[in-house]
Amino acid sequence: MTKETLLQALHGEPTPTIPWLPHIGTHAAQLLGVSAEQYLQDADLLASGALLCAERYECDGIPLLDDPQMEAISLGCMPHWSDEAPPSITDSPLYHVPATQLTAHFPPLPDEQAGRWPTVIAAGKQARLELARRNVALVGIAAGPCTIAYNLRGLTLFTDFFRNPQEAAQLFAYAGKVSAISAHIYANIIGCDIVAINDTPATMLKPEYFQHYVVPNLQDAWHTIHTAGKTSSLWA
């Protein structure tokens, strides 16, 4: 296990071996014998899960948490918890708001005290020291702009592209600010070696939409990560 190999690969440099960064999801909850709902809301369990998976799979890096709804919950979205997977979003402050009124109803931007961030920060600080001793990279996963916009708006987001493009652009700009806050927490407060932006819903956008709505609103997060001296990555 060596985090240097993973960092070299992400920087586009040749590596002596192929680095290994598993996508563990809530698998650690199964290994620990607890539900995903318990696991994702307990700092000790999150830290123990990251360390357990790093040891079992002998990887070069390990995610602290993989929950695409983290940011949405910190913005007031209502989760439905599961025993075996991250929660799903069942309601949002923006679900039933007319597109022309979206900006007036944007939730306050979160900080490190919002939602489950105190739990995640405590888990990250706990796991980081032991992972550093083992020379394993700690990876923070922040939700990307399209993920956040989709959680806040639901399927209406995709009709907004056609009927209300200006309002959709404002929503993505807001979501990009939220992504940058998450990147700041992972890079500066927790001290993750790598901060990945995970934006799976963006794969449903045609290239022109991706370039217009997503790419500009990733820049603040990239700047935050790189200013902190950390390595960035984009997952989809």
Contact 195, 140 (CB under 8 A): yes
Q: What is the pTM of this model?
A: 0.96
* Rounded distance between C-alpha atoms, residue 143 and residue 124, angstroms: 17
Cα 216 off chain centre by: 18
pLDDT, mean of residues 217-225: 98
* Rounded distance between C-alpha atoms, residue 144 and residue 178, angstroms: 9
With 80 as the cut, is the pLDDT of residue 192 above it?
yes
Model confidence at 31, pLDDT cuts 50, 70, 90, reads very high
What's the pLDDT score for residue 125? 97
With 70 as the cut, is the pLDDT of residue 226 above it?
yes
With 80 as the cut, is the pLDDT of residue 10 above it?
yes
Angle, vertex CA 11, rays to CA 201 and CA 63, nearest 5 = 50
Is it true that domain 3-235 has CATH number 3.20.20.210? yes
Contact 137, 3 (CB under 8 A): yes
pLDDT, mean of residues 200-210: 95
What's the pLDDT score for residue 2? 86
With 80 as the cut, is the pLDDT of residue 52 above it?
yes
What distances in angstroms separate CA 111 from CA 81, 87, 153, 154, 178, one per listed residue?
A: 23, 21, 21, 23, 9
pLDDT, mean of residues 161-189: 97
Structure tokens at 48: 């123990």
Which residues, in sequence order, are CB contacts of 192 under 8 Å at separation 6+? 64, 124, 128, 138, 139, 140, 186, 230
What's the pLDDT score for residue 48? 97
With 90 as the cut, is the pLDDT of residue 25 above it?
no
* Rounded distance between C-alpha atoms, residue 141 and residue 183, angstroms: 8
Structure tokens at 133: 């001793």
Model confidence at 86, pLDDT cuts 50, 70, 90, reads very high
Contact 158, 123 (CB under 8 A): no
With 80 as the cut, is the pLDDT of residue 1 above it?
no
User: Where do the structural domains in the chain lie, given as residue ranges?
Assistant: 3-235
